Amino acid sequence: MANPSGTGSELPAVSEGNLHLVTSPHVHFGWSTARIMWLVTAALLPCLAVAVYHFGPGVLAPVAGAIVGAVGTEWVLNRASRRPDTVGDGSAFLTGLLLGMIVPPGFSPVHAALGGVVAIGLGKAVFGGLGHNTFNPALVGRAFLQASFPAGMTDWSTAVARVDAVSRATPLGLLKFGDPSQFPADLATERLLAGNIGGCIGETSAAAILLGGVILVATRIASWHIIVSMLAGGALFGGLFHLAGVGPSPLFHLLSGGFLFGAVFMATDYVSSPLTHRGQWIFGLGIALLTIMIRLFGGLPEGVMYAILLANAAVPLINRATRPTIYGAKR
């Protein structure tokens, strides 16, 4: 399958008369970075559609802001460092979209754009661009926004609400700081699935995220090991604490906050997740444990972002610990 053109790969090919040289891999799946990035973008569309339905078209403003910030930064930094333009591969667009999905519905588009600048500039470009970053760029951008604008990042009330219920605290916020008995309907499983609750733009509807997850796993873009291990870990650790009388049911843990969105779209980032399946299991279980610990014993109502960033930092170590033995080598 030595097809130098049309496979979408950027492999160098040399042609000289009848001599035709192509570097390996010769059997290529034919998928380019751009194709993967746009497919993930497509998998995010259900979440965006549900957000527009529940919170109104106003949610498109912060999403667009984040995308403009991310893509603009990618373009400017490529220019400034005289590198080939990588805007076309869609990775910056996807980072911006992911960042836009994890800010509150009424978040300022200007601040979202700043988050996009930080995500690409400090999360990716300083390490050398796509494939060289230790941390998930969208989460780096969100961590910056969370530390910069703590009020804006926890203000769930400014959403243009179609349903009254969406303009109040998130279910996790209710559990941590409020009186859950006041709004028992907000904690119901149907609501968590449908997404008519308070929360970040893309994270509220578990059903829409699961649909995106099915697309990613069916097209083999995302590693199911990470998704399943993170969900299993959430059920296991959440369940253990629940049995011990601490915290809500494991199902609530999995469906509320950013747990599903993080498992499907954030933890599965190729660059910042482990290489081996064994490593991916450790990674997913680690994120789940950290998330549950932060939720139940930390000062914040939600901990998925910090859990994934911390696990990202441990990835080189996980990769080293789970390196497969070469066949025939002594253990």
Partner 1 sequence: MSKQMTINAEFAKGLWEHNPVLRQLLGMCPTLAVTTSAINGVGMGLATTFVLTCASLMISLLRKLIPGQVRIASFIVVIATFVTIVDLTMKAQFPEMSKSLGAFIPLIVVNCIILGRAEAFASKNNPGRAIIDALGMGLGFTASLTTLGGIREVLGNGTLFGVQVMPHQYVPWIVMILPAGAFLTLGLMLGIYNKFNHRHEEAALRAARLAAAAKGV
Q: Are 301 and 295 in contact (CB under 8 A)?
A: yes
Smallest separation, CB 97 to partner 1 (Å): 23
Residue 71 DSSP label: H
Nearer to partner 1, 81 or 182 (CB): 81
Please report how close the Cβ of residue 64 comes to partner 1 at its closest, in angstroms.
Answer: 19
C-alpha 126/C-alpha 170 separation (Å) is 35
When the beta carbons of 152 and 234 are compared against partner 1, the nearer one is: 152
Vertex 57 angle, CA 55 and 62, to 5°: 90
Closest CB 239 distance from partner 1, rounded Å: 34
Instruction: Please tell me the distance from the alpha carbon of residue 40 to that of residue 38, in angstroms, as a whole number.
Output: 5
Nearer to partner 1, 151 or 326 (CB): 151
Helices of type H across 224-276? 224-243, 250-255, 259-261
Token pair of 58 as six digits = 């106003």
Smallest separation, CB 110 to partner 1 (Å): 9
Binding site for partner 1 (CB under 8 A): 108, 111, 114, 122, 126, 144, 147-150, 152
Contact 13, 22 (CB under 8 A): yes
Pick the closer one to partner 1 by CB: 122 or 188.
122
- Smallest gap, in angstroms, from Cβ of residue 146 to partner 1? 8
Tokens of 235: 């059920």
Separation of first and last alpha carbons in the chain: 37
Which CB atom, from 67 or from 114, has the smaller least distance to partner 1? 114
| C-beta of 131 vs 150, nearer to partner 1 | 150
Cα distance between residue 18 and residue 147, in whole Å = 60
Quick one: 144 or 265, whose CB is closer to partner 1? 144
Helices (H), 86-156: 91-101, 109-121, 137-148, 150-153
CA dist 138 and 120 (Å) reads 8
Instruction: State the nearest-atom distance from the C-beta of 308 to partner 1, in Å.
Output: 17
